[in-house]
Structure 1
Amino acid sequence: MIKWQSRLLEDCIERVAHSAKIPRSQFLEAGAHPVVSQEAEFINGFWDNSADLFRVTRPVIVFGDHTQVLKYVDFDFVIGADGVKILKTKEFLYPRYLYYFLIHSRLKSIGYARHYRLLAKINVCYPSLKQQKQIVAILDEAIEGIDAAIALCEKNLANVRELFGGYMKSVFAQKGNGWTVRKLGEICENLDSRRIPITKSVRMEGNVPYYGASGVVDYVSGHIFDEEILLISEDGANLLARTYPIAFSVSGKSWVNNHAHVVRFNCRYTQKLVEYYLNAISLAPYVSGMAQPKLNQKSLNSIPVPVPPLADQVRIVETAETLAASIARLEANFQQKLKRLAELKRSLLQKAFAGELTKQSVEVIEAAE
């Protein structure tokens, strides 16, 4: 029978004083010591000055005050500035046990505000130190396998997503007979003057998609467009980061704000070809501003686009659409598998902190998956 105790998190950790915190802009790409910050990646940069090291004599947990990222760190490191909280457990609490407990105790997000004030008031439930270590040993073994499966699934998902881009790049690299190069502004009509942004406070709820730079941001009543158009991001970090497509076709009723260019083509195949092309190339030469990247209308119109004869356009687009449909099915399968793995992980943690976790229960849960 496991006997549990409970204390507020702030009563479970020691006060940590360390003044050296390195701004993100000063991180090195390589160096003697790793920098750990509140970013998602485990190691976020490097630093050479040993005087700035946070010396780890007992493993600590790094908590991202803004991001809620949790990292278990058992080596000396340099602290990245802003939003990093170091959680050093008192002797009655096993550090890795608290790490798993905090993963299990997900906080409600309050945006980019600071979350530590919420974390400090969490009730940490814990058994004896010996039993904490037993729970951790079981979780370590089980979660290592789950995390390996997640990593493989994410790698396969990334590979699938690269298939389409790779195909389109090969198409545009192997131009055939009759291909020409035209400026984008010469082959489409720009409809930016018809865009109307609506602030959230005055939008009327409806079923018409309201588009911004990276896709649908809301649904509203009424529409500006009721036709097939191509939207192209005008501003935002995604113009350079390319986390999402920057060009996307829209048909039917729609409302577009001033963060996406609107262009219209005479031919659907030309429109789709341009969409694929813009999503396949780097737009860095046409984007101004680094802090607030922007693709203005003049630069957009100047982008040279390879244009094949209509018969080739039809063949390329139809092949691309077939490939895209196959990739979408594969993506859906991998996303579903990732969802199941995340649910398995949550189930294990739930059992662990309800006192129900044994090696046998892990085997039953894994077999059910």
Structure 2
Amino acid sequence: MKNGWKTKKLVDVATLQRGFDLPRQDRSSGDVPLVTSSGISDTVSKSAVDGPGVATGRSGSIGNVFFIEEDFWPLNTVLYVKDFHGNDPRFVFHLLKNFDLKRFATGTGVPTLNRNCVHDELVNVPPLAEQQRIVGLLDEAFEGLVTAKANAEKNLQNARALFESHLQSVFAQCGPGWVESTIGAEIKFIDYRGKTPLKTTSGVRLITAKNVKMGFLQEMPMEFIAAASYTGWMTRGIPQKGDVLFTTEAPLANVAQLDTDEKVAFAQRIIIMQPNALRLDSTFLKYLLLSQPVQQRIRTKGTGATVQGIKASLLKLIEISFPKSLTAQEQIVRKLDDLREETQRLARLYERKIAALEALKKSLLHQAFSGEM
């Protein structure tokens, strides 16, 4: 540790206090920030704490740390710093962000940040002038990281939007040689909705609606039924690789393709779709069901006030359009597959960049409070 640095309990660096109940004044009549566990969410007419200040989520979104420039009102879902003991407020802000505050949460019902446990933590604290130097370096670095992360997130959204835009353009209007039909006229349903199997720790993989995402199957949660139960369970029909999986509720209209030849079992809110192979390509059907025009028709037929779902009888009535030629369908599939692959490559690139920026942020905080900056 550098000369002049001291090891102290956090309570001797910054004293945390619980926030207050909502003031009685009308929120809309004031301009004082109301700080909750998720951030500044509203304003009130009077302040309870002089700024600048630091607050962190006590319950709800535990561990979020905020710096507030002006006077503010901390809600009772946060802990705020009452006394900085002569330390720089922004140094304390960065110090708390360097903590994994969630590990100090206690309680079996609604977890709550235990202030006393946080206060007992030992921290390394430099003199005030060194604190201010570190704050200047961190603030400048984090400003650049915020900009870089925002750009990466925007690029990630743009990459995904590019594919969605092209997908919509393909199915927005029928081209020459397209035919009109309905889902029920072209597709056989294997319906395992409403059946709840006995789950086991190993055996044949069980696919439920939780695994079916928009355009792909997700491994988790990984659930199973006993291998000996497979034949007796799958009496409604055996799926094949390439079959299209459709969720009928919670969520409605997620679509993916079965991507394995291995035995898998199905249950809970899934319809397996097997198109007439002489008229409709399975992968083309996947993209067709993912497209905005068809998604909108499905949701229009959906029912339910709390959880929207669709009955199989109504799903079969949904109108669809597709090229009469299987060759034309396959050409569209190849183009969409190539674009999707490129979109996913870009998405992975930007996701890695965002993760790297977060890792760099943690590294800078570690360096700062280890005396290495």
TM-score of the superposed pair, with normalisation by structure 2: 0.75
Structure 1 gap ranges (5+): 240-244, 358-369
| Distance verdict in 2 for CA 1:174–1:210, change over 3 Å | closer
| Distance verdict in 2 for CA 1:156–1:255, change over 3 Å | same
Structure-1 residue corresponding to 2:248? 234
Which one of the candidate residues 250, 253, 258 is aligned to 2:258? 250
> What is the CA-CA distance between 1:340 and the residue it aligns to?
2.0
Kindly indicate whether the alpha-carbon contact (under 8 Å) linking 1:2 and 1:355 is maintained by their aligned counterparts in 2: no
| Distance verdict in 2 for CA 1:84–1:211, change over 3 Å | same
Structure-2 residue corresponding to 1:3? 5
Which one of the candidate residues 328, 334, 347 is aligned to 1:312? 328
Q: After superposition, what is the alpha-carbon deviation per residue over 1:31-62, rounded to whole angstroms, capped at 9, x for unaligned? A: 977665444xx565x56xx4376665332224
The yes-or-no answer on 1:264 pairing with 2:277 is no
Between stretches 342-351 and 92-101, larger displacement belongs to 92-101
Between stretches 86-95 and 150-159, larger displacement belongs to 86-95
| Distance verdict in 2 for CA 1:118–1:51, change over 3 Å | closer
Kindly indicate whether the alpha-carbon contact (under 8 Å) linking 2:177 and 2:323 is maintained by their aligned counterparts in 1: yes
Kindly indicate whether the alpha-carbon contact (under 8 Å) linking 2:36 and 2:78 is maintained by their aligned counterparts in 1: no
> What is the CA-CA distance between 1:313 and the residue it aligns to?
1.5
Kindly indicate whether the alpha-carbon contact (under 8 Å) linking 1:64 and 1:70 is maintained by their aligned counterparts in 2: no
> What is the CA-CA distance between 1:319 and the residue it aligns to?
0.8
> What is the CA-CA distance between 1:171 and the residue it aligns to?
0.7
Structure-1 residue corresponding to 2:91? 97
Q: After superposition, what is the alpha-carbon deviation per residue over 1:88-119, rounded to whole angstroms, capped at 9, x for unaligned? A: 24122433223322332224578994241388
The yes-or-no answer on 1:220 pairing with 2:224 is yes
| Distance verdict in 2 for CA 1:116–1:259, change over 3 Å | farther
Letter in 2 for 1:66: G
> What is the CA-CA distance between 1:124 and the residue it aligns to?
5.2
The separation in 2 between residues aligned to 1:21 and 1:275, in whole angstroms, is: 53
The separation in 2 between residues aligned to 1:75 and 1:290, in whole angstroms, is: 43
Kindly indicate whether the alpha-carbon contact (under 8 Å) linking 1:210 and 1:256 is maintained by their aligned counterparts in 2: yes
The separation in 2 between residues aligned to 1:10 and 1:302, in whole angstroms, is: 69
Structure-2 residue corresponding to 1:293? 308
> What is the CA-CA distance between 1:180 and the residue it aligns to?
3.2
Between stretches 223-232 and 158-167, larger displacement belongs to 223-232
| Distance verdict in 2 for CA 1:15–1:121, change over 3 Å | closer
Between stretches 320-329 and 305-314, larger displacement belongs to 305-314
| Distance verdict in 2 for CA 1:293–1:5, change over 3 Å | farther
Kindly indicate whether the alpha-carbon contact (under 8 Å) linking 1:62 and 1:70 is maintained by their aligned counterparts in 2: yes
Kindly indicate whether the alpha-carbon contact (under 8 Å) linking 1:191 and 1:261 is maintained by their aligned counterparts in 2: yes
Structure-1 residue corresponding to 2:138? 139
Structure-1 residue corresponding to 2:21? 19
Kindly indicate whether the alpha-carbon contact (under 8 Å) linking 2:255 and 2:289 is maintained by their aligned counterparts in 1: yes
Kindly indicate whether the alpha-carbon contact (under 8 Å) linking 1:226 and 1:251 is maintained by their aligned counterparts in 2: no
The separation in 1 between residues aligned to 2:291 and 2:116, in whole angstroms, is: 43
Give the number of equivalent residue pairs.
337
The separation in 2 between residues aligned to 1:182 and 1:34, in whole angstroms, is: 57
The yes-or-no answer on 1:70 pairing with 2:65 is yes
The separation in 2 between residues aligned to 1:298 and 1:74, in whole angstroms, is: 59
| Distance verdict in 2 for CA 1:166–1:296, change over 3 Å | same
Higher radius of gyration, 1 or 2: 2
Which one of the candidate residues 351, 365, 368 is aligned to 1:335? 351
Q: Give percent identity, aligned residues only.
A: 22
The separation in 1 between residues aligned to 2:248 and 2:116, in whole angstroms, is: 39
Letter in 1 for 2:20: H
Kindly indicate whether the alpha-carbon contact (under 8 Å) linking 2:243 and 2:273 is maintained by their aligned counterparts in 1: yes
The separation in 2 between residues aligned to 1:230 and 1:118, in whole angstroms, is: 52
Which one of the candidate residues 335, 341, 349 is aligned to 1:325? 341
> What is the CA-CA distance between 1:169 and the residue it aligns to?
0.5
Which one of the candidate residues 183, 206, 211 is aligned to 2:208? 211
The separation in 1 between residues aligned to 2:164 and 2:255, in whole angstroms, is: 13
Kindly indicate whether the alpha-carbon contact (under 8 Å) linking 2:303 and 2:309 is maintained by their aligned counterparts in 1: yes
Letter in 1 for 2:319: P
Kindly indicate whether the alpha-carbon contact (under 8 Å) linking 1:72 and 1:99 is maintained by their aligned counterparts in 2: yes
Partner SS for 1:246: strand
| Distance verdict in 2 for CA 1:320–1:21, change over 3 Å | farther
Q: After superposition, what is the alpha-carbon deviation per residue over 1:289-342, rounded to whole angstroms, capped at 9, x for unaligned? A: 454333443443333222222333112111101111111222222222222222
Structure-2 residue corresponding to 1:164? 163
| Distance verdict in 2 for CA 1:86–1:324, change over 3 Å | same
| Distance verdict in 2 for CA 1:296–1:121, change over 3 Å | farther
Letter in 2 for 1:246: N
Partner SS for 2:192: helix
The yes-or-no answer on 1:349 pairing with 2:365 is yes
Structure-1 residue corresponding to 2:113? 116
Letter in 1 for 2:309: K
Partner SS for 1:176: coil
| Distance verdict in 2 for CA 1:296–1:353, change over 3 Å | farther
